[in-house]
Amino acid sequence: MRRTVFNEDHEAFRATLRAFIEAEVVPVYEEWYAAGIVPRDFYYKLGELGVFGIEVPEEYGGAGEESFKFQAVITEEAARAGVSFGGSSVHVALCLPYLKAYATEEQKKRWLPGVASGETMFAIAMTEPGTGSDLAGMKTTAKLSEDGTHYVLNGAKTFITGGVHADRVIVCARTAPPKEDDRRHGISLLVVDTRSEGYAVGRKLDKMGLKVSDTAELSFSDVKVPVEDLLGEEHKGFSYLGQNLPQERLGIAVGGYAQAKAAVRFAQQYVADRTVFGKPVAAFQNTKFELAACKAEVDAAEAVVDRALEAHDAGELTAAEAASAKLFCTEVAHRVIDRCLQLHGGYGYMNEYPIARLYADNRVNRIYGGTSEVMKMIIAKDMGL
């Protein structure tokens, strides 16, 4: 089916990005993969290309676009080429919306130009060793100093994407104890300078997939955070998180769909070349049926993603709809990538083949940004169950 979700600007951006990936990423991707990290310089290149500034308002050095569809194009093109840009999607697709929505004018002037250029890389730290799905249970604290000039931050975070390269991290911390009738009260967002004394980056975590993404542990020991770096109102952080999670989940849904589509493409190429029992694997009826079934699932995911993208750009995507899109598209991707890997036989298990990396990379889509089980809870609640 013809996609109507992208306009000429989106498609022009896609063409530029595709050429950039071919020229600047594909030739060096094996080095990144072996090193387990995207080189810091690459983020300056994304800044120069305008990738980071698309949704940054013009007065702060960006292009001032409002459409989230540009982020979808980035995700689709990276998946198509079988590459990843590391923590850069967290930088723009996750962190930037918080800054645009809740930063003061003075804060925007300080931070947004660096977001657009790639000079100030952002990450967001919600998850803690003891709590992920149940964010209201977080233990990291930020106590206001007696003179009211700064917060004193103590605690630890884990699984933080972009945690090694980050220059600023939006840290979710308790500035007040929970209320008896509201566990979510008392959480605030602090934009912490990673060069602060007492701020430490722990292990770069060894993951089964997303090898070029720098996922790290962070710890804070009496880190002084100026009150000027509080994002939004004190104690209201949880509601801010709730407002941005639908976009994060839509982004993951797009990722699942795009990876499933790429898997079908990789498998179709592979089975045409591989000969077994004297004929191409593509000639077996089972292969055709498997790929046809996968294509049908990808088409369905595409329809869901496109409707959700339209709804989101129109400001209408609800939390339950975003959860539904994430749940569906990531479960489709899980099934499709597994079946496409199977068609590769043993080579599908080798990391030098993109399908093996896709298999490992995709697994986390059903976990981060809220697990599939949490998505079901949100949908069920919306159904009145």
Ligand X SMILES: Cc1cc2nc3c(=O)[nH]c(=O)nc-3n(C[C@H](O)[C@H](O)[C@H](O)COP(=O)(O)OP(=O)(O)OC[C@H]3O[C@@H](n4cnc5c(N)ncnc54)[C@H](O)[C@@H]3O)c2cc1C
Q: CB of residue 375 vs ligand X: minimum separation in angstroms?
A: 9
Pick the closer one to ligand X by CB: 68 or 159: 159
DSSP string, 312-338: HHTT---HHHHHHHHHHHHHHHHHHHH
Among 128, 234, 248, 321, the active-site one is 248
Q: CB of residue 122 vs ligand X: minimum separation in angstroms?
A: 10
Tell which one of 15, 26, 58, 133 touches ligand X (CB under 6 A): 133
Q: Is 40 in the site for ligand X (CB under 6 A)?
A: no
Annotation marks residue 248 as catalytic: yes
Q: Is 160 in the site for ligand X (CB under 6 A)?
A: yes
Give exposure, 133-169, as e/b (b: 16+ Cβ within 10 Å): eebeebebbbebeeeeebbbbbbbbbbbbbbbbbbbb
Pick the closer one to ligand X by CB: 216 or 291: 216
| Residue among 185, 168, 192, 190 nearest 242 (CA) | 185
- 93: how many CB neighbours lie within 10 A of its CB? 23
* Only segment of 16-24, 37-45, 253-261, 372-380 that touches ligand X (CB under 6 A): 372-380
Q: Is 156 in the site for ligand X (CB under 6 A)?
A: no
Beta carbons within 8 Å of 42's beta carbon, 6+ residues apart: 24, 25, 85, 86
| Closest residue to bound ligand X by CB | 132
Pick the closer one to ligand X by CB: 22 or 134: 134
Tell which one of 107, 127, 196, 268 touches ligand X (CB under 6 A): 127
Q: Is 95 in the site for ligand X (CB under 6 A)?
A: no
HSE toward the beta carbon, residue 114, CA cutoff 13 A: 14
Q: CB of residue 209 vs ligand X: minimum separation in angstroms?
A: 8
- In Å, how far are 149, 245, 329 from 378, measured between CA atoms? 39, 12, 16
Tell which one of 132, 237, 246, 256 touches ligand X (CB under 6 A): 132
Q: Where are the alpha helices (DSSP H) in 229-353?
A: 237-273, 285-313, 319-342
Distance CA(99)–CA(56), nearest Å, equals: 10
Q: CB of residue 2 vs ligand X: minimum separation in angstroms?
A: 35
Pick the closer one to ligand X by CB: 294 or 378: 378
Residues with catalytic function: 248
